[in-house]
Amino acid sequence: MQDIIITLLQKMFILTLQMSVPILCVGVVIGLMVSIFQTVTQIQESTLTFVPKIIGCVILLIFLLPWMINVFVTTTHEFMTTIPQLVGAM
């Protein structure tokens, strides 16, 4: 019983990481590039860091959305098929 719950929680955390890591990595890379650009040009505009990150993350989200939906639906289907086993184990 506890093993099944722990396995489900582990799969949910892995699913969360799978979906969030690509977007977070793009945000970090864009932020690093903008910071280097600001350092080289000595432009210290605080809003300059947010706009490229938002644009980059939204563009990546548009491209990754079909994959993310497919992974989410597949994992949700696996969870739903595991529920009867969980109830039967009680």
For 49, phi and psi rounded to 5 degrees?
-80, -30
Question: Using one digit for the tens of pLDDT, what is the confidence trace for 67-83?
Answer: 999 999 998 898 888 87
DSSP 47: G
Question: Using one digit for the tens of pLDDT, what is the confidence trace for 22-68?
Answer: 999 999 999 999 989 988 988 888 788 889 999 999 999 999 999 99
* Number of domains present in the structure of the chain: 1
Which structural domain, as residue segments, surrounds residue 37?
2-89
pTM of the model: 0.77
CA distance 1 to 21: 30
